[in-house]
């Protein structure tokens, strides 16, 4: 039923709003594509020999609480991935989020540990931020991943208890301090997530401080095993 609803919603949206490239607004030749071929060719995937990937592995896995990390794309300022992230705010944003999530889900399926995952958890926003923005982009991605993996998405197990300042101008050490103890499993989460193998999802990993702090709370307070995933990874200078 949800699949039929998604398709119906997509059909209505493409009728009301003729599909255009999310990045450059030209009419899209391939049906259902989010980007035109020219913009699509500028999307850079994150490969396992990418220095950004090495850095994320070191901070999140070797020196951090995660068992592994998967990201789909490189985030470039003013690039097509930024345009896709920006599109989440506007019409059809839910559909864009779910489709990006589904693409990441396909990458996760290729990992040997994919069958171990029991639940998908988006990195939560503080409730004040959620009220201001109206949606949590990580949740949209988590729902796309959940549909590909056939897994439940939990949005009530862990919450953000501190409304941290914007991180864009902070370095890694400052960001770590900024988000330290920002996440706390709620009473229900301590029970429902206890001992589970979790896929923790965020939109963009820059220094990794946010997803690291959230994973740390899940590992230390609920005994979870955590795999991390993000749609994109960004250079700190992006
Ligand atoms: Zn384009």
Q: What is the pLDDT of residue 133?
A: 85
First to last CA, the chain: 40
Residues of the chain with pLDDT under 70: 1-4, 10, 13-18, 29, 91-92, 164-170, 172, 175-177, 237-238
Give distance in angstroms: CA of 42 to centre of ligand 1. Answer: 9
Tens of pLDDT along 188-210? Answer: 888 899 999 999 999 999 989 99
21 CA distance to ligand 1 centroid (A)? 5
Q: Where in the chain is the domain with CATH 3.40.50?
A: 44-234
pLDDT of residue 16: 65
Q: CA 224, 229, 235 angle in degrees (round to 5)? A: 130
Q: What pLDDT does 2 receive?
A: 60
The reported pLDDT for the residue numbered 170 is 66
User: Distance from the CA of 35 to the center of ligand 1, in angstroms?
Assistant: 5
Residue bearing tokens 């989010």: 34
Q: What does the pLDDT read at residue 236? A: 76
Q: Can you give 124-170 as a three-state secondary structure string?
A: CCCHHHHHHHCCCHHHHHHHHHHHHHCCCECCCCEEECCCCCCCCCC
Q: What is the pTM of this model?
A: 0.88
Task: Output the pLDDT for position 165.
Answer: 61
pLDDT at position 168: 63
Taking the centre of ligand 1 as the mean of its atom positions, its distance from the CA of residue 33, in whole angstroms, is 10
What's domain 44-234's architecture? 3-Layer(aba) Sandwich (3.40)
Distance between Cα 37 and ligand 1 center (Å): 7
Spacing, Cα 110 to ligand 1 middle (Å): 29
Ligand 1 center–CA 30 separation, angstroms:
12
- Report the C-alpha gap between 141 and 96 in whole angstroms: 9
Q: Which residue has the tokens 């990390």?
A: 69
Q: Burial of 48 by CB count in 10 Å (0-12 exposed, 13-18 middle, 19+ buried)?
A: exposed
């Amino acid at each position: 039923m949800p699949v039929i609803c998604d398709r119906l919603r997509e059909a209505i949206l493409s009728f009301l709003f003729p599909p255009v490239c999310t990045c450059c607004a030209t009419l899209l030749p391939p049906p259902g594509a989010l980007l035109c071929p020219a913009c699509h060719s500028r999307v850079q995937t994150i490969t396992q020999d990418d220095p950004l990937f090495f850095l994320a592995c070191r901070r999140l896995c070797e020196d951090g609480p995660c068992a592994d990390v998967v990201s789909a794309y490189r985030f470039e300022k003013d690039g097509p991935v930024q345009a896709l992230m920006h599109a989440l705010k506007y019409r059809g944003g839910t559909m864009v989020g779910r489709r990006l999530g589904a693409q990441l889900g396909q990458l996760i399926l290729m990992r040997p540990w994919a069958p171990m995952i029991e639940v998908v958890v988006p990195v939560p926003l503080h409730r004040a931020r959620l009220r201001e923005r109206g949606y949590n982009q990580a949740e949209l991605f988590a729902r796309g991943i959940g549909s590909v993996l056939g897994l439940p998405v939990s949005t009530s197990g862990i919450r953000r208890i501190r409304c941290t300042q914007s991180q864009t101008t902070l370095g890694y050490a400052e960001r770590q301090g900024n988000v330290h103890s920002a996440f706390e499993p709620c009473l229900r989460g301590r029970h429902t997530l206890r001992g589970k193998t979790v896929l923790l999802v965020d939109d963009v990993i820059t220094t990794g401080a946010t997803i690291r702090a959230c994973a740390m709370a899940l590992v230390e307070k609920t005994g979870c095993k955590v795999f991390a995933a993000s749609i994109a990874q960004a250079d700190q200078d992006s």
